[in-house]
Structure 1
């Protein structure tokens, strides 16, 4: 069963049952939790409004935990973010090696949510950058960044952890079906990081835009990006190394590790609509 505040008009999996619920409303999940073995909590607010971050990520997660406790749900898995670590560079760190240093309202509230989940004995999954169907932030954000800056800030050498939404779903389902790992956190990413220059080449090809020129440390680009509303943290996320050891989740989930190169067709298909809209 899948619970959603706004159920999709079309189901991608005809075997799924979609029901309406809102984690910000106390008690709204209870009717659906009876007999559930595992709950995957993937509802998060990723904007910059403090009230909404507190209401959804903190209070909402507290509601999820309490209702799972009341219903006797044995396992609770939370989809968080590597952004709880804050500004990089991060290079191959293990889940046990990094502390919380969130640099945004959303990340700070999701760090609080993680503590609630781990306190319940749940498990946390931290993707870094997610691409694929339904993406309204990552690749669209890269395209906007290039347009505003008139190129790409930096030299394109940064290494990033990526994961496709299909692979992320597979890792989550694999984890849910595996024996529980109480109190554990996992990174969700392809084991091999992706160089930004190659990522941008893939974005340009999939979206039908020109490959950007690299601007280095051109302060004019930085000023233009800040004026357009990009924070220093957002710029750092895609111009400095942010990659994380992820072998643990692939192993526990029982899935064969993939690479970004192996899903380039999936990547291109996901952004076909962007290609049409940028012509």
Structure 2
């Protein structure tokens, strides 16, 4: 890291194995901080998650309005990583839900949810903060090139929250499946999802309001705020599903 101006630390473990979560998120981030210190790198930016806040509902909250209440070992260890970076005088960027190339759980998880319960819990009106991975990259680059913001955290999302109903319609259209019916407070939906391996926290994330004020990062990064609607082309291409039969 010698001679480096800015380090962006975007490596995290997001699984459920406590040993790996502690080794990668806590100890690993500690190593990054120590290497920055030894090399004299003043600027360290860590990509975290809004899941450090725990379960919602969260409605338009600012970065300073909610403390740490993580609901999983991955989120708990990323909260520790945040504190290490902020203590160093670094900056933290918190996306909520990220779609795009490399996504292995958000949209694939939505598809599984749509299939398992025979419908969707709630009425589809929940508002979510989401962002495409390319827009997230632009925000990180803009922040890295902007004046240093020591000890600050930022939400990374499209400023306009996205209704679950609109998100599911986009998923259904891209994958050529039927958009699920909304089950409201159907008591059978929750047990069916838990039996399929979804945690209560995972279901909560996509059925209740989880949206966060994110205008600050767009301003500091010097970028014009984008919307989910403007990124639908990126959304579609990231999850292009071949209609050709599998010949393997």
TM-score, normalised to structure 1, is 0.86
Structure 1 residue runs without a partner (length 5+): 1-32
1:241 aligns with one of 188, 202, 209? 209
1:78 aligns with one of 46, 49, 54? 46
- RCO higher in 1 or 2 (8 Å CA, sep ≥ 6)? 2
Q: How many residues align structurally?
A: 246
Distance 1:220 1:275 in 2: 33
1:163 aligns with one of 125, 131, 136? 131
Q: Deviations over 1:152-188 (max 9, x none)?
A: 1111010000100000000000000001000000000
Task: State the SS of the aligned residue for 1:130.
Answer: strand
**What is the deviation of 1:207?**
1.2
Distance 2:32 2:49 in 1: 18
1:134 aligns with 2:88: no
- The aligned residue for residue 146 of structure 1 is 114
Task: State the SS of the aligned residue for 1:219.
Answer: coil
- The aligned residue for residue 12 of structure 1 is none
**What is the deviation of 1:151?**
1.2
Structure 2 residue runs without a partner (length 5+): none
1:108 aligns with 2:58: no
RMSD: 1.3
**What is the deviation of 1:276?**
6.7
1:181 aligns with 2:149: yes
Distance 2:155 2:182 in 1: 30
Cα distance change of structure 1 residues 150 and 276 upon mapping to structure 2, 3 Å threshold = farther
**What is the deviation of 1:273?**
2.9
Distance 2:58 2:121 in 1: 19
Distance 2:191 2:242 in 1: 26
Runs of 4+ aligned structure 1 residues displaced above 6 Å come to: 274-278
Task: State the SS of the aligned residue for 1:66.
Answer: helix
Distance 1:140 1:35 in 2: 40
Q: Deviations over 1:165-216 (max 9, x none)?
A: 0000000000000010000000000000000001000010011111111111
Q: Deviations over 1:210-248 (max 9, x none)?
A: 111111122222111111111111000000000000000
Distance 1:223 1:276 in 2: 35
1:225 aligns with one of 175, 193, 196? 193
TM-score, normalised to structure 2, is 0.97
Distance 1:40 1:137 in 2: 23
Cα distance change of structure 1 residues 206 and 275 upon mapping to structure 2, 3 Å threshold = farther
Distance 1:273 1:171 in 2: 28
Q: Is this contact kept in 2: 1:76–1:123, CA < 8 A?
A: yes
Distance 1:202 1:65 in 2: 40
**What is the deviation of 1:85?**
0.3
